[in-house]
Structure 1
């Protein structure tokens, strides 16, 4: 099915761009029942909605005329959440309305407002801008909306998420009541429906989102990574897929700076996009991606909103998005206009459940795998080299003569090896990574306990940690600390035994060497991990001294004859007979930690901030009541 456009200028523009097969959203807004009406459209990014509302508003703006009259006050206003999206809309409208004589002006943050004011004074048919800059022009009297016929809100859900509700309401209140409004949004939360009820009249609801979360052309992959190997995993994923351009998403500006510097250090042609960059820097970065000077973009969600790169084949989520809408918007940068794309989520073990919830919310069944290994990448490099035009194209006469001269002085094997070296020299080196593996099931846990080790086979190795009961040691924060420092997962850790001054624990033999190397590097703190060749009893008796536990409460009531403490151990402390505390893998919330109720509930103690390193906290010598009385300066009654 082809476009049915009555305006000859628009029909010629579409034909020049080979727009022969309209997308579902374009067909929906051009249907007979949608002509001239307010529209509330749910459409995903990459579905061709910019051209869709450009064609939908043409009938209202031009009528039966082929060209616009002289430009005076704007006839149409398009509001977009970010500068990149607004400038993209301006570029799309420039070629779509090229034959109509339309004058299109953009008003976005980061650009010179005085230059925009001069352009508005010269007259405009269509104004495209961001909410903050458009409101600024309205408040200063630089933008006249009295003749407005159409207003378009593009990605309205994102504008509400970014806090532009007040600006949008100010802009819409300044438009004539008889104007036509087109509202496009990837999702339809309650705020969008409320906005539509207030500012639209008898709007036609159009739902064109696909049943697979809106992106049937996107292949989703979830990759298990070790907690400390995020950078290496990003490098290997980029090298494995080797697309013309890719985008890597982070959640913070600091993460963007760090990852961008890492990729540049490893010979990737990468650019960064974040809110701290000026508009010129952002434009230069996007232009480098479009003309091929850069192949990787590291960006935050907001900075990448509205980016349309023609050859973007890969989206990497270095950090998981905050919600399902962000996942869809991120992934929607690829798989556009019928092209295929890949969206890869890098998931450490402690974020697996969150990633599965995100995938379920968009209707995608996760496909799990380990990170691409260096051997996998080298094998692909060899296959790509054999298909490189350098080898497939026929050589010229001069090249043949040079080859014969080289063969006269070197063997064919020597020249082939040099060719491979030259080919690999221009590629970033792959990294050695490990696969954390699938999480263990309940049956695996039982087998592991019966076998007396983390894996149930192959034996274990013991290690010592210089943190004990006197440092408020508790397995609920010790276990994540051990896994992070040793670059292992919970399935590799066995029994944990907590003593007064230190803690011993066992690691499966399969992960012991990797654990020892990673733990030796340290993490910039005072935590020391070292091997314990002789097992948990090396250098100490199996039972610590029978001294009073550091956090034991004094026994109240009648003292027991010959026994300083009751026979029954308390739930919130170690056994009173001095036996080592077998931590194991008890479920969170069972029992009470030795360092107080407030810390167990995840709350700071009264009057004190929560400490980041529990082993650095010092037990208080006074209760909360005593501290309160100490501050009370009033005299007490004897």
Structure 2
């Protein structure tokens, strides 16, 4: 299937052509036609499946097809509620890219920065608002945002909203929007509490699930290194001596840990920056932009800061520390191998983390191959659950996909 077969309007087709996208991902192929009919949608999709375009493209088309006079009033017609600042910014970038020829306007509001540029944009009038819950409720309370004419509501990353304690904020927002509306609900996982939340938001929704719950993409080559905690820094530097790893996203459990890893890498003359909640919004965005533009080779991140980070052609994710929540592993490595591309995920596991690794094996229903051929093996580590052996990190390997049909993220 191609985007031309989805009956998209010419301005959006033109934008997709400019971006170089021709082939929709499975969730886009399934969700776009449903949303265009005006139905509610429940989407279960891992990060990296292209779900942002799955709602951004049909929303732009629906609003573009409204009568001109109606669109000219510039009341907020669509609200996309998302848990993190970085994800909100990236969704805004997607609307800018796909809607560049539609004359529809959008803005992004989030905390951590001054509100005046955001309120100025709101005063000029926008068709589409992308927001994080806290800043949205703050600006609504100040009278800068009126959602009474809202027609399309999107709740993105619902499971992460729950994890971050935003569920009550979401319910407060729901009280302020019209009951007659189209609602789209996306979550990477569907535990009972998320299903119950969806039931309060959606009316007779169509359901789209493009991958099994809690699965990892088949395009990601996973491996684990057993290593003493004190040797993790040296192992990371050793792996990054492979210059075919042009960029890598490295995960730590804590903000302090992220800063320590950055210092170690910088001392080894490896360009690295950290992104976490203690950084200012400008610092976080600059670090992300430098990483996207290849000015920074290594981005070290905590889980909440990294949720939703979308970097084209990211081939490597490194779990410097094993996450204590197994689902987090799925989210982390989903930063690579996106939309059908190949990716590689390395995990460093010390003795205290072996129980976490066992939980991950149980969740993903597979054993992660073990790399034994490296300079810092943990001699006390026996294979977890009979895990197969993996080859050491290959040299001069380049997984960047330069040719062929691209998929829109």
Q: Same fold (TM over 0.5)?
A: yes
* Within-5 A mapping of 1:452-601: none
Partner residue in 1 for 2:322: 320
Partner residue in 1 for 2:255: 253
Partner residue in 2 for 1:458: none
CA separation in 1, counterparts of 2:13 and 2:67? 14
Partner residue in 2 for 1:452: none
Partner residue in 2 for 1:436: 379
> What do residues 556-607 of structure 1 show as CA deviations (whole Å, max 9, x unaligned)?
xxxxxxxxxxxxxxxxxxxxxxxxxxxxxxxxxxxxxxxxxxxxxxxxxxxx
Partner residue in 2 for 1:16: 18
> What do residues 426-485 of structure 1 show as CA deviations (whole Å, max 9, x unaligned)?
xxxxxxx345265289xxxxxxxxxxxxxxxxxxxxxxxxxxxxxxxxxxxxxxxxxxxx
Partner residue in 1 for 2:197: 195
CA separation in 2, counterparts of 1:79 and 1:32? 20
Runs (5+) with no aligned partner, structure 2: 385-409
TM norm structure 2: 0.88
CA separation in 2, counterparts of 1:440 and 1:234? 21
Partner residue in 1 for 2:399: none
Alpha-carbon distance change, 148 to 371 in structure 1, aligned in 2, over 3 angstroms:
farther
* Within-5 A mapping of 1:203-352: 203-210=205-212, 213-240=215-242, 242-352=244-354
Question: Alignment length, in residue pairs?
Answer: 382
Alpha-carbon distance change, 269 to 193 in structure 1, aligned in 2, over 3 angstroms:
same
CA separation in 2, counterparts of 1:18 and 1:119? 30
CA separation in 1, counterparts of 2:103 and 2:169? 30
Q: What's the secondary structure of 1:312's corresponding residue?
A: coil
TM norm structure 1: 0.57
* Within-5 A mapping of 1:26-425: 26-31=28-33, 35-63=37-65, 69-70=71-72, 72-210=74-212, 213-240=215-242, 242-370=244-372, 372-373=374-375
Retained in 2: the 8 A contact 1:60–1:149?
no
CA separation in 2, counterparts of 1:87 and 1:68? 27
CA separation in 1, counterparts of 2:278 and 2:35? 45
Alpha-carbon distance change, 36 to 370 in structure 1, aligned in 2, over 3 angstroms:
same
> What do residues 73-98 of structure 1 show as CA deviations (whole Å, max 9, x unaligned)?
21101111111100000001101011
Q: What's the secondary structure of 1:229's corresponding residue?
A: helix
RMSD (Å) for aligned C-alpha atoms:
2.1
CA separation in 2, counterparts of 1:181 and 1:5? 21
Aligned-pair CA distance for 1:331: 0.7
CA separation in 1, counterparts of 2:181 and 2:143? 20
> What do residues 88-118 of structure 1 show as CA deviations (whole Å, max 9, x unaligned)?
0000110101111011111011222122111
CA separation in 1, counterparts of 2:149 and 2:331? 34
CA separation in 2, counterparts of 1:34 and 1:359? 39
> What do residues 383-437 of structure 1 show as CA deviations (whole Å, max 9, x unaligned)?
xxxxxxxxxxxxxxxxxxxxxxxxxxxxxxxxxxxxxxxxxxxxxxxxxx34526
> What do residues 161-198 of structure 1 show as CA deviations (whole Å, max 9, x unaligned)?
00001111111111100111100110012221111111
CA separation in 2, counterparts of 1:329 and 1:236? 25
Alpha-carbon distance change, 265 to 52 in structure 1, aligned in 2, over 3 angstroms:
same
Aligned-pair CA distance for 1:239: 2.5
Alpha-carbon distance change, 217 to 65 in structure 1, aligned in 2, over 3 angstroms:
farther
Structure 1 or 2, whichever has the larger Rg, is: 1
Retained in 1: the 8 A contact 2:323–2:356?
no
CA separation in 1, counterparts of 2:69 and 2:188? 32
Alpha-carbon distance change, 336 to 68 in structure 1, aligned in 2, over 3 angstroms:
farther
Retained in 2: the 8 A contact 1:86–1:108?
yes
Aligned-pair CA distance for 1:32: 5.3
Partner residue in 2 for 1:557: none
CA separation in 1, counterparts of 2:243 and 2:61? 44
Q: What's the secondary structure of 2:71's corresponding residue?
A: coil
Q: What's the secondary structure of 1:99's corresponding residue?
A: coil
Partner residue in 1 for 2:397: none
CA separation in 2, counterparts of 1:64 and 1:322? 48
Aligned-pair CA distance for 1:323: 1.5
CA separation in 1, counterparts of 2:16 and 2:137? 33
Alpha-carbon distance change, 355 to 241 in structure 1, aligned in 2, over 3 angstroms:
farther
Alpha-carbon distance change, 38 to 58 in structure 1, aligned in 2, over 3 angstroms:
same
CA separation in 2, counterparts of 1:333 and 1:261? 23
Runs (5+) with no aligned partner, structure 1: 374-432, 442-638
Partner residue in 2 for 1:2: 2
CA separation in 2, counterparts of 1:244 and 1:67? 50
Retained in 2: the 8 A contact 1:29–1:35?
no
Retained in 2: the 8 A contact 1:67–1:99?
no
> What do residues 335-365 of structure 1 show as CA deviations (whole Å, max 9, x unaligned)?
1132211111111134324202212302332
Aligned-pair CA distance for 1:210: 4.7
